[in-house]
Amino acid sequence: MLINKVTRFQIRKLENNVTLNALNTTLKMKNCIIASTSTLYGGDYLDYILPELSEHFKNCKTILFIPYAQPSGISYEEYTNKVAAAFDNINIVVKGIHEFESPKAAIDQAEGIFTGGGNTFLLVFQLYKNNVMDALANAIKNGTPYLGTSAGSNICGLTIQTTNDMPIIYPPNFQTLGIIPFNLNPHYLDADLQLKHNGETRETRIKEYHQFNTVPVLGLREGSWLEVKGEKITLKGSLSARLFRQNKNPEEIASGSDLSDLK
């Protein structure tokens, strides 16, 4: 009799847990800010987007920072300190992934994650070297709030083939997180027809990419970002973005547009 009671109690507990888990799984949805840049001309690091970040990371006391892209070759410590100073304005503590013994465990346990800009090839090289590309994708897909700027945004696309960066190091693969089903070109710049300069424009380079690839490319101007909530992708910020598709004329996309069907 007593055994029966205990068993019934255990079963009910188990059922409750299963229901809770199911609920969690349903609620687990991507929650990302994928930004063109960290800093606007004349502004301070992240200051233009801090109000958004305060809301985005509202349930986080601490976030994990991934400094692997090392802009201008600065150390992980220097980079993390810079990020920590910015997040201090919204009362969030920043820990660098290099401070943890296991980078994978750091990602698995993070309340929120930020990957900063720098060199995209170096970032991807390090993500593969530390064996955390899958862990990062899983954390984001399971709802850990994520912020990417520049290189940290490039990796949210399918591949890094449309970065502006030089391939200073050889990553094992160009494939990245696939959080959004297209590629980005951050810091997107329109051609300046007054410039007496003969190098390729961004538009030309992306056209070259489309000689061999069908994946759409979104040119994200500085101050723009994508908000990803579950499967919904929205263009944010005050500027339009430029969309490039294979065999189609480029298109201006207004801020506020829904890009969820772009693939």
Distance CA 246, CA 242 (A): 13
Q: Which is nearer to ligand ASP, 104 or 187 (CB)?
A: 187
From 151, 233, 253, 259, residue interacting with ligand ASP (rule: CB under 6 A): 151
DSSP class of residue 201 equals P
Which residues, other chains included, contact 174 with Cβ-Cβ below 8 Å and sequence gap of 6+?
124, 159, 160, 161
Any idea which residue has 């969030």 for tokens? 92
Q: Does 205 bind ligand ASP (CB under 6 A)?
A: no
What is the smallest separation between the CB atom of 152 and ligand ASP, expressed in angstroms? 7
Shortest distance, CB of residue 105 to ligand ASP, whole angstroms? 26
Which residue number, 69 or 139, has a Cβ lying nearer to ligand ASP? 69
What DSSP string describes 85-126? HHHHTTT-EEEEGGGSS-HHHHHHH-SSEEE--S-HHHHHHH
Residue 227 sits in the site that holds ligand ASP (CB under 6 A): no
| Alpha-carbon gap, residue 224 to 43, rounded angstroms | 15
| Residue 136 Cβ vs ligand ASP, minimum distance, rounded to whole Å | 16
Question: Is 163 near ligand ASP (CB under 6 A)?
Answer: yes
With vertex at residue 213, the alpha carbon angle to CA 130 and CA 71, rounded to the nearest 5 degrees, is 40
Check binding of 115 to ligand ASP (CB under 6 A): no
Could you tell me the smallest distance in angstroms from the CB atom of residue 205 to ligand ASP?
11
The correct pick among 70, 80, 126, 150 for binding ligand ASP (CB under 6 A) is: 150
241-244 and 232-236 strand pairing: unpaired
Q: How far apart are CA 246 and CA 197, in angstroms?
A: 26
Should residue 70 be labelled a site residue for ligand ASP when binding is judged by CB under 6 A? Answer: no
Q: In what order do the strands lie in the sheet with 31-35?
A: 93-96, 62-66, 113-115, 146-149, 31-35, 225-229, 232-236
Concerning whether 150 is annotated as a catalytic residue, the answer is yes
Site string for ligand ASP, 15-54 (x = CB under 6 A): ----------------------------------------
Q: How far is the CB of 7 from ligand ASP (least distance, A)?
A: 57
Active site residue 187: yes
Q: Is 186 in the site for ligand ASP (CB under 6 A)?
A: yes
For residue 105, which of 139, 77, 58, 140 has the smallest C-alpha distance? 139
Q: How far is CA 137 from CA 96, 98, 111, 134, 143, in A?
A: 18, 19, 15, 5, 10
**Count of residues that bind ligand ASP according to CB under 6 A:** 12
Stretch that binds ligand ASP, among 102-110, 114-122, 134-142, 247-255 (CB under 6 A): 114-122
Residue of 187, 255, 257, 260 with catalytic role: 187
- Which residues are registered as beta bridge partners of 242? 219, 252
47: annotated active-site residue: no
54, 81, 164, 213: which one contacts ligand ASP (CB under 6 A)? 164
Contact footprint for ligand ASP (CB under 6 A): 69, 117-118, 120, 150-151, 154, 163-165, 186-187
Catalytic residue numbers, as ranges: 150, 165, 187
